Structure 1
């Protein structure tokens, strides 16, 4: 009985340390991608007018997503990556901080493959764009606090299927 208060305090302390983000590997259907998500994502896709897919989940007050589509010509890949980043910044009415180089295992090297923070808009965000062949991808973290550690785990957990 002497240890009961100690056990109660220990139990409360351990439950407070429970992670808000429950990381798991996910292979969204049709994406040819392995991603590390902090929650179970819902995956949606459409074939018309253009084939597109989206995997998204909400955790710890933030939205984590990966979207993908294909472009028709190799020359469209770089401009598509730049447009994806710019479109998100415009939608969020945000300023894009300078981009940082991005390497995703299995990606096709592209100068426009970058990650960057978006700030000053409707909500903080982080975005990364990359490609493999004609398929272009966008990973996004949106939320009241775009947690740098969560972003790092999310973006470094991306791998293209070989």
Structure 2
């Protein structure tokens, strides 16, 4: 599951060091500030009975993983976008045993303007060791992509770290 991809990244135990850098992902159409050099991964996922690809960029800082996942859609229909948004929203919530509550949020476009997305903040137990995790996430669909910008943290982060990540996330 997409949410499991983010939670599957091992959280390091080193002291929190945030070395912010702007990452421009021209292939998937976004820019974001990450707190360390990112790693990249890509996986096949089945969503609503359709095979899709999900690309991930992840960076670790302290006890947190910062990630942007991009699901490439077979079409840009509203129904496909909604199905993928629902899949990601429920997957993140299920990974920490929480309700998939989300609120509307505006996601900025690099060229100006904004698009409507979803914002989540969840806490619960994750993994086989049932360790407490806090998940901060924003989900948004644009054209033939659905994006999941997320932070998975062992403990709540300082608001300025969360703000740095989310305020820098812009779509092309």
Give the alignment's TM-score, normalised by structure 2.
0.71
Measured against aligned partners, the alpha-carbon deviations of 1:86-124 in whole angstroms (never above 9, x if no partner) come to: 1111022224454242323158834xx211101233311
1:38 aligned residue (25, 35, 51): 35
2:73 aligned residue (67, 71, 74): 71
Point out the structure with the larger strand share: 2
Match of 1:133 in 2: 143
Match of 2:52 in 1: 50
Describe how 1:1-162 pairs up with structure 2 within 5 A: 20-28=17-25, 30-45=27-42, 50-73=52-75, 74=77, 75-105=79-109, 109-110=115-116, 113-122=117-126, 123-147=133-157, 148-161=159-172
SS of the equivalent of 1:86 reads helix
Superposition CA RMSD, Å:
2.4
Asked if the contact 1:96–1:119 (Cα under 8 Å) also holds between the matched residues in 2, the reply is no
SS of the equivalent of 1:31 reads coil
Asked if the contact 1:100–1:116 (Cα under 8 Å) also holds between the matched residues in 2, the reply is no
Asked if the contact 2:109–2:115 (Cα under 8 Å) also holds between the matched residues in 1, the reply is no
CA distance in 1: counterparts of 2:140 and 2:101, whole angstroms: 17
Give the alignment's TM-score, normalised by structure 1.
0.75
Runs of 5+ consecutive residues of structure 2 not aligned to the other structure = 1-15, 46-50, 127-132
Runs of 5+ consecutive residues of structure 1 not aligned to the other structure = 1-18
Higher mean alpha-carbon deviation, 113-122 vs 47-56, is at 47-56
Indicate the structure (1 or 2) with the bigger Cα radius of gyration: 1
Cα pair distance change 1:85/1:39, threshold 3 Å: same
Point out the structure with the larger helix share: 1
